[in-house]
Amino acid sequence: MKYLFLNLKRFDIPPELGGVNRLAPLGEWGGRIVAGTQEGLRAYEGEAVFADFFPEAHLLSAGAARTSDSPVQIGCQGVFREDTAVGGNFGAFTTNRPAHAAAALGCGWTIVGHCEERNDKAGILAEAGVTDPAAVCRLLNREMRCAQAAGLKVLYCIGEKSEEQDRWQQVLGQQLDIGLEGLDPAGVVIGYEPVWSIGPGKTPADKPYITKIARFVKERTGGLSVVYGGGLKTDNAAMLASIPEIDGGLIALTRFTGEIGFYPEEYLEIIRLYLGH
C-alpha cells in the first residue's frame, strides 16, 4: 500500500495578505480541495491511502465535502501533548488542539514532528536554556501517544539538518527511538524530510541518498512504511516511484513559479505520475 499525504500548511491565506490561496474564498477552501480531488482519486482505490492535513479552521468544510465513500481521509496539523478525559480535564487547553477534538472534527490522521514543528519546539525550549534535541522528541512522543489514544493514525516526520549530516544515523536514530517509544507501530507511517535539501537554491536529495535513509528507517523500526517528506512533485515523482523502499510521499505546493500555490488538478497530475496511471 502507498501513502499519499497532503500538507496544506497555511495555504489558505490570500495573496493580498502574503499567502498563496487563489483557489477559493476562505470559508470554502477546505471543501473545494476535497471536492476537487476525491473523484479523481477513486481510480487508485486499493492502491493508496490519501490523507489531507488541513489547518483546523478548514476541517469542517473539508469533512462536509467528503462523499460517503470518499477516498480522501482528513487529518489535522498536530495535536496537543495532553488531552481530555472522562472524569478528568474537560478541555482546559486554550489555543491548543487536543487529539479528541481532532477526532470529533472528523480527523483520522495527524502529522507530528514536521521540521517546522521541531524548529518551533526547539526554539521555545532554547528560551529556557534547553538545547537537547531529545527533549523535542519526548514532547512529540507525548503528542503521538495522545493521538493514538484518540484513535488517530500518525504521520511522524524525521529529518536531519545540514550540520547534522555527518551524524545522520545518530540523529535519525534518536528521533525514531524516542519518538516511537510506547506507540502502536500499526498506526504510524514515517515521513523522511531531508531538511538540509529543502528550500530555494538547495540541492535536492538524490535517489541513492533517499534509498539509504529509507533502508535505515525500515531496519531501525522493523519495517514501518516510509514516505518521502521533502516534497513529492511532478519533477521527482517518477524517481521516487522507482525506489522500492519508499512507500509514498508528502505533497505541499503544486506550483512553485508564477501564481504559486496549491491547485487540485496539478495535485492529481502528481498522483498520476507517481502511481503510473
pLDDT value, residue 199: 80
Mean of pLDDT over the chain: 97
| pLDDT tens by residue, 182-227 | 999 999 999 999 999 988 778 899 999 999 999 999 999 999 999 9
Q: CB–CB of 157/113 below 8 Å? A: yes
Three-state DSSP class for residue 263: coil
Environment class of 164 (CB within 10 Å of its CB; exposed 0-12, middle 13-18, buried 19+): middle
pLDDT value, residue 55: 96
Catalytic residue among 117, 143, 160, 193: 193
pLDDT value, residue 167: 97
What pTM was computed for the model? 0.97
* Whether 245 is catalytic: no
Residue holding cell 500518525? Answer: 154
| pLDDT tens by residue, 27-76 | 999 999 999 999 999 999 999 999 999 999 999 999 999 999 999 999 99
CA of residue 2 relative to chain centroid, distance: 14
pLDDT value, residue 162: 94
Q: CB–CB of 267/254 below 8 Å? A: yes
Residue holding cell 498563496? Answer: 20
Compute the Cα dihedral for 250, 251, 257, 261 and give only its sign: negative
pLDDT value, residue 200: 79
| pLDDT tens by residue, 12-27 | 999 999 999 999 999 9
Instruction: Report d(CA 198, CA 205) in Å as an integer.
Output: 9
Cell numbers found for residue 267: 495535485
H and E: helices and strands count for the chain: 10, 8
211 phi-psi bin (left φ>0, alpha ψ -120 to 50, beta other): alpha
Cell numbers found for residue 10: 497555511
* Whether 114 is catalytic: yes
pLDDT value, residue 49: 98
Catalytic residue among 100, 114, 117, 160: 114
| pLDDT tens by residue, 125-170 | 999 999 999 999 999 999 999 999 999 999 999 999 999 999 999 9
Ordered structural domains, the chain, with CATH: 2-275 (3.20.20.70)
